[in-house]
A = this chain, B = another copy of it.
């Protein structure tokens, strides 16, 4: 590592911003400086690759959107009009996937919040999509626009978060207006990279237009500058429904980032073996990416891995399991085989933000990040297998993410750091607290936590014996209390408002 990067890392610690009276590290683009973990041999990677190509060639994918089938047929795939199955020739898949870029620059409304996705860059997002929100005060309830707004404010305030996601589903907003309301909040309460659900041509087009307005750029520039992303979950096994197929095509045409993530739960929607689930995941990911690349060669995409397993006694999905960690590491090896940015997740099956939520998330995080994850979805706030977005879990996760970010700062090993002079100064039985070597470095020496309590037992007890989850509750509320929205030009805000008003008047969007 260069001295330059090292000092950048250290200074990020020093700048440790106070947002809402909350200690946190500064915003910065992360890079993983370490050699990634490999749990598959090169032969095993090839065996999974070959199996997935056999699946695509022999079984194919059932694609429900005619436009998608037509585009693939024109590129040389075999389409069965009866079963709607599209069978892919190996050459078509390999040539198409090779056209995708390995690094994508994401443009935020605030250029300071631009993010690189790919290579050894790492970006963290909020949780996305749960139908419920929860905190210790209000318990678990259906998500609402106020909950969504609060998650967006936390996402903006929290420097560990690089990109947004749909946080929680505001079920109090009519479905045909929901994308308008949430995009408006996302684009006015934050200035980080936004997200859009692929729920059909109209909502995607609406949100892309709103992003363009928020960035204040012409259409041509937006097409060149990737400014928003979506996630496409293939309907495992071997299906792509209408809105998902449409999303792949529309995002490719617009030059926006599409993450293809099969939801391959081993033992349910995928084979009960991890190798089999990975082969299926790989087949579906390559199929979706091929559709993207035949639509527009070079369109920005990422390879998503989300393979986990079910509890074979109950059929319940499990997350952050040993198998999940292994699948994440293996998926990273597959993504690197195709030189594609790799998307992973921070997940748990726990129903409450407790110790289980923490250890399952850590198992997921180590698999994700030492597997070379470039974009960590559900980075903060995911609970209950994705059915709840938790405010306390958001803060627990933010601490875990900050710790991983600090772990990515390699420590210097040079004459000054090796400290022979300090050892001479202090000698046997002495103390380094007052040493010159310490005084010159102590302010920036170590990671400072946002949430962890390192006080002694008595002090902690006098302060109320609070658990990390209880402290997380205070922290999230303090962050919200001190929230200030990022600056936005009045004219831009008005244009967004006018757009939303017009589209609502027109009846909102037709979903697919």
- A interface residue numbers (CB < 8 A to B): 34-35, 37-40, 44, 47-48, 51, 54-55, 58-59, 61-62, 83, 85, 140, 235, 237-239, 266-277, 279-280, 309-318, 321-323, 325-326, 349-363, 366, 370, 384, 387-388, 396, 399-400, 403-404, 406-407, 409-414, 416-420, 422-424, 426-433, 435, 437-438, 441-443, 445-448, 451-457, 460-461, 465, 467-469, 472
* B239–A437 touching, CB < 8 Å: no
Chain B residues contacting A406 (CB-CB under 8 Å) are 321-323
* B418–A275 touching, CB < 8 Å: yes
Chain B residues contacting A317 (CB-CB under 8 Å) are 454
Closest chain B residue to A404, Cβ basis: B322
* A460–B321 touching, CB < 8 Å: no
Chain B residues contacting A456 (CB-CB under 8 Å) are 316, 351
* A454–B349 touching, CB < 8 Å: yes
Chain B residues contacting A359 (CB-CB under 8 Å) are 358-359, 361-362, 396, 399-400, 403
Closest chain B residue to A1, Cβ basis: B41
**Do A411 and B326 form a contact, CB below 8 Å, given A355-B353, A366-B366?**
yes
Q: Oligomeric state, in number of copies?
A: 2
* A420–B51 touching, CB < 8 Å: yes
Closest chain B residue to A424, Cβ basis: B59
Give the distance to chain B from A245, nearest Cβ to Cβ, in Å. Answer: 14
* B309–A239 touching, CB < 8 Å: no
Give the distance to chain B from A409, nearest Cβ to Cβ, in Å. Answer: 8
**Do A420 and B44 form a contact, CB below 8 Å, given A441-B272, A454-B318?**
no
Chain B residues contacting A266 (CB-CB under 8 Å) are 445-446
* B350–A452 touching, CB < 8 Å: yes
Chain B residues contacting A272 (CB-CB under 8 Å) are 419, 422, 432, 435, 437-438, 441-442, 445
In the assembled complex, the Cα of A235 lies from the Cα of B51 at a distance in Å of: 58
Chain B residues contacting A455 (CB-CB under 8 Å) are 314, 316, 351
Give the distance to chain B from A238, nearest Cβ to Cβ, in Å. Answer: 4
Give the distance to chain B from A55, nearest Cβ to Cβ, in Å. Answer: 6
Give the distance to chain B from A446, nearest Cβ to Cβ, in Å. Answer: 5
* B357–A457 touching, CB < 8 Å: no
Chain B residues contacting A315 (CB-CB under 8 Å) are 433
Chain B residues contacting A313 (CB-CB under 8 Å) are 448
In the assembled complex, the Cα of A446 lies from the Cα of B314 at a distance in Å of: 13
In the assembled complex, the Cα of A213 lies from the Cα of B190 at a distance in Å of: 70
Give the distance to chain B from A86, nearest Cβ to Cβ, in Å. Answer: 10
Chain B residues contacting A424 (CB-CB under 8 Å) are 58-59
* B428–A62 touching, CB < 8 Å: yes
**Do A276 and B323 form a contact, CB below 8 Å, given A237-B423, A362-B363?**
no
Give the distance to chain B from A445, nearest Cβ to Cβ, in Å. Answer: 5
* B267–A438 touching, CB < 8 Å: yes
Chain B residues contacting A457 (CB-CB under 8 Å) are 140, 351, 384, 387-388
**Do A403 and B321 form a contact, CB below 8 Å, given A312-B442, A410-B39?**
yes
